[in-house]
C-alpha cells in the first residue's frame, strides 16, 4: 500500500479509480525496467504507457506562482499532470528527502489539484517508493 502520509482514510481515497490506473501504469514501467535508470527514462516510458492505456496527460506543465494577483513564471514544472487532476513527481533517488513532499504539496496548491504522488523508481519494489498526498 502506498505511503499515505498524514492523510485520513476518507480523503486518501479521492479519485481512487484514476489513481489505481496511474499506479498500475507505473508498476508496469517499473516491472519492465527495474530500478537504476535516470528519472527522464521513467518519465518517457510512463508517458508511453499512459498513451497505450488511453490515459490523458500533460508532460512538464508549467507551475506558475501567483502572488497577490500577479502570475509569475519562475520556470517551475511538474513532471506529469494526469487527466488534469493528479500531479506526479517522478524520482530515481537512493533516499527520499522531506523537500520532495513539500514540493509536491506546493504544486498541488499552486495548480489547485486535489491529489498527487511522488513515485521513486529507484526501489526494488515500487510500492515502497510511492507517496500519496491530497489537499
**How far apart (Å, rounded) are the C-alpha atoms in residues 107 and 62?**
10
- 41-56 average pLDDT score: 98
Q: Which residues, at least 6 apart from 56, have a Cβ–Cβ distance to it below 8 Å?
A: 50, 82, 83, 84
> What is the arithmetic mean of pLDDT over 51-69?
95
Is 14:134 a contact under the CB 8 Å cutoff? yes
Domain boundaries along the sequence of the chain: 9-134
Confidence bin at 13 (pLDDT 50/70/90): low
Q: Give CA–CA dist 20/117, Å, rounded.
A: 12
Confidence of residue 4 (pLDDT cuts 50, 70, 90): very low
**Do residues 91 and 102 lie in contact, with contact meaning Cβ atoms separated by under 8 Å?**
no
Inform me whether the pLDDT recorded for 3 exceeds 50: no
Mean pLDDT of 72-76: 90
Q: Which pLDDT score, from 0 to 100, does residue 104 have?
A: 98
Q: Residue 14: what pLDDT?
A: 77
Residue 69, pLDDT above cutoff 50: yes
% residues pLDDT > 90 (the chain) = 82
For the chain, the 3-state helix, strand and coil shares in percent, each to the nearest 5, are 40, 25, 35
Is 11 a residue whose pLDDT tops 80? no
Q: Write out pLDDT tens, residues 97-115.
A: 999 999 999 999 999 999 9
Amino acid at each position: 500500500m502506498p505511503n499515505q502520509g498524514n492523510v485520513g482514510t476518507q480523503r486518501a481515497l479521492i479519485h481512487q479509480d484514476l489513481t489505481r490506473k496511474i499506479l498500475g501504469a507505473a508498476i508496469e514501467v517499473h516491472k519492465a525496467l527495474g530500478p537504476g535508470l535516470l528519472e527522464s527514462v521513467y518519465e518517457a516510458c510512463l508517458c508511453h504507457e499512459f498513451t497505450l492505456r488511453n490515459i490523458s496527460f500533460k508532460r512538464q506543465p508549467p507551475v506558475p506562482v501567483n502572488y497577490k494577483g500577479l502570475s509569475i513564471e519562475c520556470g517551475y514544472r511538474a513532471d506529469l499532470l494526469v487527466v488534469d487532476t493528479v500531479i506526479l513527481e517522478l524520482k530515481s533517488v537512493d533516499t527520499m528527502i522531506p523537500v520532495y513532499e513539500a514540493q509536491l504539496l506546493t504544486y498541488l496548491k499552486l495548480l489547485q489539484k486535489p491529489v498527487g504522488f511522488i513515485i521513486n523508481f529507484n526501489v526494488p519494489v515500487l510500492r515502497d517508493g510511492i507517496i500519496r498526498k491530497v489537499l
